Structure 1
Amino acid sequence: MKLPLLIPPLECREDVYRRLQTISDHKALNAILQVNPLAAAEAEYWHQARQQGQPIAPLQGIPIVIKDNIDISPLPTTLGCIALANAKAQRDALVVQRLRSAGAIIIAKANLSEFAFDVRSRSSLAGDVLNPLMPGVTAGGSSGGCAAAVAADMAVAAIGTDTGGSIRIPCSYTGLVGLRPHHRHELLQGVAPLSPSKDCVGPMVKSVQDAALLNAIMAGKPLRPLRPAPLKSMRLGVLTELAGDSPQQLRVWHAALNTLRNSGVELIDVTLPILAEVASAPCLSLYEFHVAINAWLAMHPPAPASLSELYQSGQFLPEFSPFIAQLLSHKTLKTEQWRSSRRFQRKLREAIYQLVHTQRLHGVIYPTVSRQPESLEKMPPGCAPELSAISGWPALTLPCGVSATGLPVGLEILCAQPQEDLLLSLGLACEGVFS
């Protein structure tokens, strides 16, 4: 079901019941960690409001899945971890408050990579999230449960988080539209941290219009119609270094570029020398997670009191034990390593800005990931998702075709703009070309 701009479904109550049944029918995908027990009652409330002729809210009756690292009171916020199975949220996250005020029904909380650590969604609470398009491969991560839920029609939309590609990677794997907005720290209220300097909250949906609507509501911005950028005036840089080496994906990618050219889009091959530094750039989550998660744990009793206590409990995926031990060694912020990482953020941000503006580009494009998933194990996505994550500039992924393997290929657009308006306009135009 497409989420029509500002026109909620007429029979939201029946739709929510249908989605709840779909969740039950697709348990084997491991996409959902917990169903909201109040979802049916909320659907009844909005049904009665409509029957009584009350003003229609922009998301009235729309069923949405939320990643289980975002607070929804009074449900636990588990991060997919057994040790946090009872870590109750005291109040809704800010973005959830805004979605609910707009009439959305939070139907369930989605499985994820435990602690949002990985580009594959595997947790100690529910195991691997399977890709609905091909259950033998991963749905990606860390917001894989969100992607699987929308792709399998368990919900109209999902809200995920993105620190290094965690919205865009699973959306690429499942053929969805995923938006990583411009980094706004204030929207992280009620969101479990991984790296506060990079964390973002964004929509995972089936159309660019839907992404624009949800993004505006979560950001507290006025709702305005989204119009596609004129194709014949679009000038996009193609980051050729990020094309990858997968023959199946490259065939789709080059066909997508030809489709854009034939539609009047001006494509310019460009290079970004700083890309050579991205793969080896210091990871901010190494230095920020320990301090940030300790503060979060203190607000979610009866969770373990600290990361150290959680680690000592052993109640998490054993494969993460060495990584958590490494995280525990970074006990304070503002070390020289942290400062070096922050300097690289600014350096990459400026390099992208200079590329876009010296070449007079509206944005740059590249495949969202370097290759498609092949199993339930993690497939290194390449450094493409990190361009937006490290720089803070917004990025949007949308499907541009399907490879011979039967899996979709994602095209990512990145804009050096502090707002998402231009990015979404470009995405809407490209979506029309590929549909």
Structure 2
Amino acid sequence: MPPIAFARSACLVALAGAVLVQADPVAAQAPAPAPFRVEDSTIAGVREALASGRITCRGLVQGYLDRIAAYDQAGPKLAAIRALNPRALAQAEAYDADRAAGAAKPLGCVPLLLKDNYDTAELPTTGGSAALAGAQPAQDATAVARLRAAGAIVLAKANMQELALGGVSVSSLGGQVRNPYDLTRTPGGSSGGVGAGMAAGFALGGLGSDTVNSIRSPASANNLVGLRVTQGLISLAGIMPVSKTQDAIGPITRTVADAAALLQAMAGTDPADPLTAAAAGKVAPSYAAALKPDALKGARLGVVRVLFGTKPEHAEVNRVMQTALDALEAAGATLVRIDDPAFEADALNREDDVQTYEYKALMNGYLASIPNAPHKDLAGILALGQFHRAALEPFLKAAEARQDGMAEPEYKARLGRIAAFKAHVAEVFAAQKLDALVYPLQKRLVVPIGELNQADRNGIVAGLTGYPAIDVPAGFSEASATAPAGVPVGMDLLGQPWSEAKLLGLAYAFEQATNLRRLPASTPPLEAR
């Protein structure tokens, strides 16, 4: 990927109207307002700063571009960004030219990072694969169109695990994404470019996809909030597919409130995605209304013990999780121990996952929808070999070898087991009167760069059931030479279908009680210049 050129403007967003009137002794003595720092800003904070005239939309967007210039292609070279939107600054200037119209939109001037499996009309959608370089969709994905209608600006497409098939975020087109908290480790995946970019302060919000773990793994590994929604709450139209049974999308943000704001803009039915018909009447009028600091009081949370590791390599995550569980209790939650082997993640992945059965037909259909796709089917991608062979070839060959995967008896047997597991999870919720299940998204820390698989991930529970799950920062491992603040650890809260408002409330209360968000040492605030 060639270096990206950027304007060398000020990295801090310029203050507007900050001239002191010398004749006014009070004004002359008043301290100057603190610089507006984009790296830890929030949607609410940006809206307030724009409304007051403290910042401009163009200045905000340029501030993020400056950080990308300093830390993605230079400095630690995170490799989180695959392509910048050349129209982003012009869209920001349009906001500034008519602030009243922009401010009326709930996401006015919210710069976003999109995982590179979201279709966009002005940028190719490659899935991080050299095999799909230049593949230009005819229109935005439904989720992207709704975000734009709400005022958001697509700032960039993010690097990812190629074709969303794995958890370490390496691709033939974008290379290996690095974790900003420990540059020797991966950022999780497959939405790792969004995760690393959001942690490093490259945008105000991010969007990922999740077939097994892929929104919540980067959230866990990068001290972020990641929300996988109930399947059908947000349209999958225009999203490069992996599995019709397991795919879902959602936000990756620095705060729970920002996740709620992005969800509000995207949720709802869509004729282009039949799965969303079930969302009719299920979208909360205001997800933000659920964000109350006392939401954990009286909540019953099931702690799924089989999703905690028992080996030495699991000790750091277990230590962090115990502290998080203590914080949940201190905030008023009742913890209910769940000892149930049905939740064993390795067995669920091995025996019930249906990706290889569904992938070929879905990917072939998607490629046929892209006017200039370099390949029109999976066989063409395999034949040319322009992909990360070590990471992808076993899966791609297995998927291509299935003549009609969704007609195979084993596929139908797996769907039957998935239905039974989903019913079992519902029974656990009812029997224990639970508001959510709690567990670490990953039993161990994210793996070092060079490993091709992230072992011991627990996201399959949501992936198979289609239930919503939100991952929130739970803390950090012990500090080390390569991780000055430690490696982030995330905690999953899994709820019943359509319970996103409740989950957001629980996550918000935990976030407010613990305040665990930290900027990575490798991407500090930039000096004004």
Q: TM-score range by the shorter chain?
A: over 0.9
Q: Deviations over 1:342-400 (max 9, x none)?
A: 22221121111111110111111011111112411245342521000111110000011
For 1:54 and 1:305, how far apart are their aligned partners in 2? 40
1:298 — aligned with what? Answer: 368
For residue 290 of structure 2, the aligned residue among 219, 226, 231 is 226
Per-residue deviation, 1:88: 0.5
Q: Deviations over 1:5-41 (max 9, x none)?
A: 8936512210101111111112211101100010000
Length-normalised TM-score, structure 1: 0.96
The one-letter amino acid of 1:352's match is V
1:414 — aligned with what? Answer: 494
2:443 — aligned with what? Answer: 370
Q: Deviations over 1:213-249 (max 9, x none)?
A: 1112111454452333533311111111112232222
Secondary structure, in 3 states, of the residue corresponding to 1:182? coil
Closer/same/farther in 2, CA of residues 54 and 33 from structure 1, 3 Å limit: closer
Secondary structure, in 3 states, of the residue corresponding to 2:226? strand
Q: Deviations over 1:31-73 (max 9, x none)?
A: 01100010000111111120x5665211100110000011001
For residue 132 of structure 1, the aligned residue among 164, 168, 180 is 180
The one-letter amino acid of 1:34's match is A
For residue 336 of structure 2, the aligned residue among 248, 252, 268 is 268
2:478 — aligned with what? Answer: 404
Per-residue deviation, 1:271: 2.0
Q: Deviations over 1:69-110 (max 9, x none)?
A: 110013110011111001111000000000000000000000
2:355 — aligned with what? Answer: 285
For 1:68 and 1:23, how far apart are their aligned partners in 2? 17
2:59 — aligned with what? Answer: 14
For 2:63 and 2:295, how far apart are their aligned partners in 1? 39
For 1:262 and 1:427, how far apart are their aligned partners in 2? 14
Closer/same/farther in 2, CA of residues 296 and 243 from structure 1, 3 Å limit: same
The one-letter amino acid of 1:206's match is R
Q: Deviations over 1:265-310 (max 9, x none)?
A: 1111112231244142232110111000001111112320111011
Whether contact under 8 Å (2:327, 2:510) holds in the other structure is no
Whether contact under 8 Å (2:112, 2:153) holds in the other structure is yes
Q: Which runs of 5+ in 1 are unaligned?
A: none
The one-letter amino acid of 1:324's match is L
The one-letter amino acid of 1:345's match is I
Counting only pairs closer than 5 Å after superposition, residues 78-157 of structure 1 correspond to structure 2 as: 78-157=126-205
Report the identity percentage: 34
For 2:186 and 2:127, how far apart are their aligned partners in 1? 18
Q: Which of these two proteins has the greater Rg computed from alpha carbons?
A: 2
Whether contact under 8 Å (1:76, 1:88) holds in the other structure is yes
Length-normalised TM-score, structure 2: 0.79
Secondary structure, in 3 states, of the residue corresponding to 1:96? helix
For 1:186 and 1:428, how far apart are their aligned partners in 2? 21
For residue 314 of structure 1, the aligned residue among 375, 378, 385 is 385
Tell me, yes or no, if structure 1 residue 44 matches structure 2 residue 101. no
Whether contact under 8 Å (2:169, 2:191) holds in the other structure is yes
1:235 — aligned with what? Answer: 300
Q: How many residue pairs get matched?
A: 434
Closer/same/farther in 2, CA of residues 157 and 8 from structure 1, 3 Å limit: farther
The one-letter amino acid of 1:307's match is L
Per-residue deviation, 1:186: 6.5
Tell me, yes or no, if structure 1 residue 429 matches structure 2 residue 509. yes
Whether contact under 8 Å (2:233, 2:267) holds in the other structure is no
For 2:85 and 2:141, how far apart are their aligned partners in 1? 15
For 2:222 and 2:102, how far apart are their aligned partners in 1? 37
1:395 — aligned with what? Answer: 469
Of 161-170 and 210-219, the range deviating more from structure 2:
210-219
Q: Which runs of 5+ in 2 are unaligned?
A: 1-40, 51-55, 269-282, 480-485, 516-529
Secondary structure, in 3 states, of the residue corresponding to 1:73? coil
For 1:21 and 1:54, how far apart are their aligned partners in 2? 23
Secondary structure, in 3 states, of the residue corresponding to 2:119? coil
Per-residue deviation, 1:154: 0.5
For 1:115 and 1:358, how far apart are their aligned partners in 2? 39
Closer/same/farther in 2, CA of residues 298 and 379 from structure 1, 3 Å limit: closer
Closer/same/farther in 2, CA of residues 398 and 234 from structure 1, 3 Å limit: same
Whether contact under 8 Å (2:353, 2:464) holds in the other structure is no
Whether contact under 8 Å (2:360, 2:378) holds in the other structure is yes
Closer/same/farther in 2, CA of residues 111 and 157 from structure 1, 3 Å limit: same
Tell me, yes or no, if structure 1 residue 353 matches structure 2 residue 398. no
For 1:230 and 1:119, how far apart are their aligned partners in 2? 32
For 2:394 and 2:302, how far apart are their aligned partners in 1? 40
Closer/same/farther in 2, CA of residues 9 and 35 from structure 1, 3 Å limit: farther
